Structure 1
Amino acid sequence: MSSGHIVKSYDEELESVRNTIVEMGGLAESQLEAAVRSLTERNSELALKTIEADKAVDELEHSVDNMAIRMLALRSPVADDLRLVISALKIASVLERVADYAANIAKRVIALNQGPTIAATSTIPRMGAMVRRMIDDVLTAYSNGDAELAYDVWVRDQEVDQLYNSMFRELLTFMMEDPRSITSCTHLIFMAKNIERMGDHMTNIAEIIIYQVNGEMPREPRPKGDKTSVTMIENDGSESN
């Protein structure tokens, strides 16, 4: 995706930024897979490794920040190049947050494993698989400057929201029927919410890519299917590390 600048090192710097973003996304996707697998396998050791792996994403974000700041200071990019650099800064920040959510899931897996085995839910692995595909596709869209694929990811988030809504209602019913399950079900709800928020962040990146390629954001309102935002556990769906 060369822009053909006269100074070859400038193209190399832009390519390095893109490659680092893709590496970040790949790590975030792997951490999501590991976090969900640690849940389904009740594997606290894998959960701990997932938490520890978050540091690598943080380091890559710092690398993107440093490269982007250097380019802004020394290259004075304009037009498409400026959009690319600013987009990289935004996307790196979003991917770092996605990795944080994966670590949050892993932390709750460890807490969940301290108690008795609960009935496995298939919804969280399904949500995880959907969001992993969104991550993979949005990275492809970013690498190729593919606004159409980015738009496809953008509209897909509603499917993740619908799964979350269904699971939320199911677990609320379960907690009302058996108060002993409240702690475990609350952990599961927060895990699902973390994945739902990852899907939201993929739509953020998709919008950034669409703007980067087309110079404008999608005109229609963002598709949104989360109906639980008025509940007590919403709190922006986030947990701080």
Structure 2
Amino acid sequence: MVIRENFEKKLAELKGKITEMGELSVTSVERAFHALKHQDVEIALRVMEEDTEVDNLELEINQFAIWLMAKEQPVARDLRVIIGVLRISSEIERIADFGVNLAKATIKIGKGSSLVDIGQLEQMKDICIEMIRKSIQSFTEENLSLAKEVSELEDKVDDYYAATYKKLTTYLSEHPEETDQLVQLLFVNRYLERTADHITNIAENTAYLIKGKIYDFNS
């Protein structure tokens, strides 16, 4: 019984590190978009510099998970939890990378006046932040309902992505002289859409943990 309690504590610690990593990715995306919105290159540069925190935590989580598998030799459901941690840490790292990509787009745009309203992009970002937190909570609490909510929110991001893509490409055809900035905003649109995809992967991993079968919320 004591051995089992110790193992459960280690699993809880591992989940706690996933939560910490998730919040770091939230900070990355939030600050990167703030930099974009306010054309703050200095903040964008800090987002890029601080990405190593996420990378280091992913490495720590992976080493912890591998050590736990080697030491405890978990089977069945416990093994699914640890495999889920490994997969989810990779997804979170990719989400933080998209925060860096947003920061790079901000730097390329520079301090020139904004050509178009980025309100839809901001709404996409807000939904992504909600999705990240729900997906991490769904995993740590093993809550299938929250995982399904994440997939429903992804549909909203996809709708915004399509509408924003149409808006930006139309503006681009009318203002070819502003290609550089508009292309970067198209990249931002794509980065946010891909962020939502990776968050949905976290929800799918949670569903696998709970049900023991593979889900495809993107289908």
Determine if the alignment matches structure 1 residue 200 to structure 2 residue 194.
no
Q: Is the 8 A contact 1:36 1:124 kept in 2?
A: no
Listed as ranges, the matches of 1:1-241 within 5 Å are 6-113=3-110, 115-218=112-215, 222-223=217-218
Question: Per-residue deviation at 1:223?
Answer: 4.1
Quickly say closer, same or farther: Cα 1:128–1:86, change in 2 above 3 A: same
Q: Secondary structure at the match of 2:50?
A: helix
Quickly say closer, same or farther: Cα 1:117–1:156, change in 2 above 3 A: closer
Q: Is the 8 A contact 2:109 2:181 kept in 1?
A: yes
1:120-140 CA-to-partner distances (Å, cap 9, x unmatched) read 321111100010000011111
Q: Is the 8 A contact 2:200 2:218 kept in 1?
A: no
Rounded to whole Å, the distance in 1 between the matches of 2:80 and 2:92 is: 18
Where structure 1 has 5 or more consecutive residues not aligned to the other structure, the ranges are 225-241
Question: Per-residue deviation at 1:169?
Answer: 0.8
Give TM-score scaled by structure 2 length.
0.95
1:135-171 CA-to-partner distances (Å, cap 9, x unmatched) read 0111111111101110111222111011011111111
Matched pairs, number: 219
Give TM-score scaled by structure 1 length.
0.87
Rounded to whole Å, the distance in 1 between the matches of 2:114 and 2:133 is: 32
Rounded to whole Å, the distance in 1 between the matches of 2:54 and 2:2 is: 30
Rounded to whole Å, the distance in 2 between the matches of 1:223 and 1:18 is: 25
Determine what percentage of the aligned residue pairs are the same residue: 31
Rounded to whole Å, the distance in 2 between the matches of 1:217 and 1:119 is: 41
Q: Is the 8 A contact 2:132 2:199 kept in 1?
A: yes
Q: Is the 8 A contact 1:174 1:181 kept in 2?
A: no
Instruction: Name the amino acid aligned to 2:14.
Output: V
Question: Per-residue deviation at 1:57?
Answer: 0.4
